[in-house]
Amino acid sequence: MLLNVKNDIREIDRVFTCIKEFCCANGISEKKCFDILMIIDELATNIISYAFDDGQEHTFTVMIEKEKDMVHVRLSDAGIPFDPLNRIEPDTDASLESRKVGGLGIFFAKQLSQFISYERVGNKNQLDILVSLKEEE
């Protein structure tokens, strides 16, 4: 499934609906579907909020496909070059008062996925995420 998404936060609801339909059609458990939705929500919201700094309407893509016991998600945007994996990990042991705001989205995506990579391909940021469909025991 390939979705073209406008850089408008209201698009997240449409993306969620499509991803839920994908999960149902592919027999993906509610828990794994929730994990996938959380990853896409965090990363797509970052693209919408920060990738384009000109105030114009842009689109980016969300691709999702099932590959055996994994789901492959790819987010691709032609926004400013940004590698979210190059950020310092948030200190989740620090008190709430001393923590910096932000930075948890990519942290959660890493925690919920088996693999995540970033590549600048031509003029596009490309994030690839693999989520295992095997249930934890």
pLDDT digits (tens, 9 = 90+) for 66-125: 999 999 999 999 999 999 888 656 444 545 555 454 556 788 888 899 999 999 999 999
Please state which CATH class domain 2-132 belongs to. Answer: alpha beta
For 48-68, what is the mean pLDDT?
Answer: 95
Is residue 93 packed enough to be buried (19+ CB in 10 Å), middle (13-18) or exposed (0-12)? Answer: exposed
Cα separation, 47 vs 49, in Å, equals 5
Cα separation, 98 vs 88, in Å, equals 15
pLDDT of 106:
84
Between 86 and 19, the higher pLDDT residue: 19
For 25-54, what is the mean pLDDT?
Answer: 95
Between 23 and 97, the higher pLDDT residue: 23
pLDDT of 39:
95
Average pLDDT over all residues of the chain: 89
pLDDT of 85:
83
